[in-house]
Structure 1
């Protein structure tokens, strides 16, 4: 698989954009939703939501068999509108938040990694977004 393939996942959240932004960015909320399945969780998160700020979320199997830190540095932040970042491995991602009044559309686009099939990556990121 060649580097640079972009994957998009999206969802409509039944909440106003300010609440969605808060839950997306506050570490105490990130640890409640950032998991792709019921046997995983996010026991720790840090988040400095500003251009040049860093973030890190520990994602772990609940049985303790495996964990990893997912993190990076913000390259673009417009409150309630957009977040752009570069991941620790150099890949890029961008998240758009579209305010529809009582609902918010989230469109997340990220650069695929080369270890796993695109479909698997898209499925995992979509599962996390759906859990949100």
Structure 2
């Protein structure tokens, strides 16, 4: 039995599903290219570094609506191009990273279903993570729509 199921049993999980108006390869690039990521993911310009392969490191500085900055670090746990990204986020004071799973399922060459999943230790952590992920999906949707129009 993998660690993931064990934590899911006694953790607080969320799953967000959305259909994006773009092929999977375009969604993947938006999520794994620093120059694109910092345009939609509320990251400080130039702060994003990504080594997209299993065990590769990433870092980004997130900017809150009120201008606060939060440096984040982590690594990629699983990478299947255009399909699956499991991102580990370092959590201060915890031995294990918080893992967020992003799955892409291309529907017809024009649309891609994206699913974000995460299991947290507390309901409060889950609510914050879910809120953050919802903001990410909103930003990603707007970015892809804008890119389509350009």
- Give secondary structure in 1 for the equivalent of 2:44: strand
Question: What is aligned with 1:5?
Answer: 12
Question: What is aligned with 2:63?
Answer: 60
Q: As a proportion of its length, which structure holds more helix?
A: 2
Question: What is the 5 A alignment of 1:1-132?
Answer: 4-35=11-42, 41-43=43-45, 44-61=47-64, 64=67, 66-89=68-91, 90-100=97-107, 101-112=109-120, 114=122, 116=124, 118-132=126-140
Q: Once superposed, what is the RMSD of the aligned Cα atoms?
A: 2.2
TM-score (norm 1): 0.82
Relative contact order, higher structure (CA 8 A, sep 6+): 1
Count of residue pairs brought into register by the alignment: 125
Q: Report the CA distance between 1:81 and its aligned residue.
A: 0.5
Structure with max Cα Rg? 2
Structure 1: which 4+ aligned runs deviate by more than 4 Å?
none
Q: As a proportion of its length, which structure holds more strand?
A: 1
Specify whether residues 130 and 15 from structure 1 end up closer, same or farther in structure 2 by C-alpha distance, changes over 3 A only: same
Deviations 1:18-42 (A, max 9, x none): 111111110000110003xxxxx53
TM-score (norm 2): 0.73
Segments of structure 1 that go 5 or more residues without pairing to the other structure are 36-40
Contact 1:46 1:57 in 2 (8 A): yes
Specify whether residues 32 and 75 from structure 1 end up closer, same or farther in structure 2 by C-alpha distance, changes over 3 A only: same
